[in-house]
Amino acid sequence: MKIAVAGTGYVGLSNAILLAQNNEVVAVDVIKEKVDLINNKKSPIVDKEIEEYLSSHKLNLKATTDAESAYRDAEFVIIATPTNYDVEKNFFDTSSIETVISLVKKYNSSATIVIKSTIPVGYTERIRKEMEYENMIFSPEFLREGKALYDNLYPSRIVVSFPKDKPELKDKAETFAALLKQGAIKKEIEVLHPFCTEAEAIKLFANTYLAVRVAYFNELDTYAELNGLNAAQIIKGISLDPRIGDFYNNPSFGYGGYCLPKDTKQLKANFAGIPQNMISAVVASNDTRKEHITNQICAKSPKTVGIYRLTMKAGSDNFRQSAIQGIMNRLKSRGVHVVIYEPTWKQDTFEGYPVASDLSEFKNKCDVIIANRKSEDLKDVEDKVYTRDIFGNN
Active site residues: 259
Tell whether the torsion through CA atoms of 103, 143, 47 and 351 is positive or negative: positive
CB burial class (10 A; 0-12, 13-18, 19+) of residue 196? buried
Residues 261 and 312: their CA atoms lie apart, in Å, by 14
> Measuring CA to CA, which residue among 256, 331, 268 is closest to residue 300?
331
